[in-house]
Homo-oligomer: A and B are copies of this chain.
Amino acid sequence: MIAVLRIGHRIDRDKRVTTHVALVARAFGADAIFITTQDVKIKKNIQSVCKRFGGDFQIETGLDAKKIIKSWKGTIVHLTMYGAELEKAVTHIDTDRDLLIIVGAEKVPPYFYQIADLNVSVGNQPHSEVAALALFLDRYTKTAWERKDFNGNIQIIPCVKSKKVFSKGTT
């Protein structure tokens, strides 16, 4: 199991970025996202995407980060621009174990740096936790997202010049 733990989400300020984090988690191969702040709207949004586009991605909000971390049996990785280089770091993660990926918003308390088995950076430049999560999952899963079938009610057919959508509901 791969789960993402989103900490420090502020409902007004981060709603769109956290939504992107959740959608990226789902699209690039995570099984679940836990958001520490309670946010009913994001949960509904993501569940609506899952219903239409498929997969069995889970989302929970309003959870205690430390409780999740303490009860986690697998590896814990924290994504941060200060961490170890992605390419080297992923080779040290045992893919047979469950993986919890901590993704912060703005300043992350020292506790999370210390509790993580590995702090991992996707480049050491400031950019985005959304991009960092996507690249991390891309490398960690060896690009498995490219071959994943979500078997959704809506399926997009790749197309160079227009939109092609296959919808089970309309057949």
Binding site for B on A (CB under 8 A): 13-14, 16-17, 20, 23-24, 26-28, 49, 53, 81-87, 89, 113-114, 118-119, 121, 123-128, 130-131, 133-135, 138, 145-146, 150, 155-165
* B81 adjacent to A161 (CB under 8 Å): no
Asked if A126 and B23 make an inter-chain contact with CB atoms under 8 angstroms apart, the answer reads: yes
19 other A-B residue contacts (CB within 8 Å) besides A23-B125, A113-B161, A119-B162: A23-B127, A23-B128, A24-B128, A27-B126, A27-B127, A81-B156, A82-B164, A82-B165, A83-B160, A86-B146, A89-B160, A118-B160, A119-B160, A123-B146, A128-B130, A128-B134, A130-B130, A135-B135, A138-B138
- Please, how many angstroms separate the alpha-carbon atoms of A53 and B127 in the complex? 11
A165–B162 Cα distance when bound, in Å, is: 46
User: Chain B contacts of A87 at CB under 8 A?
Assistant: 146
The quantity of this chain's copies bound in the complex is: 2
Q: Is the CB of B125 within 8 A of A27?
A: yes
Assuming the contacts A83-B160, A158-B85, A163-B82, asked whether A20 and B17 have C-beta atoms less than 8 A apart, the reply is: yes
Please tell me if the beta carbons of B113 and A163 are within 8 angstroms of each other in the complex.
yes
A133 to B131, alpha carbons, bound, how many Å?
A: 8
A114 and B161 contact, CB distance less than 8 A? yes
Given contacts A123-B146, A134-B135, A135-B138, contact A84 B158 (CB under 8 A): yes
Residues of B with C-beta under 8 A to A20: 17, 20, 127-128, 130-131
A145 — which chain B residues lie within 8 A by C-beta?
Answer: 123
Q: Which residues of B contact A13 (CB under 8 A)?
A: 16
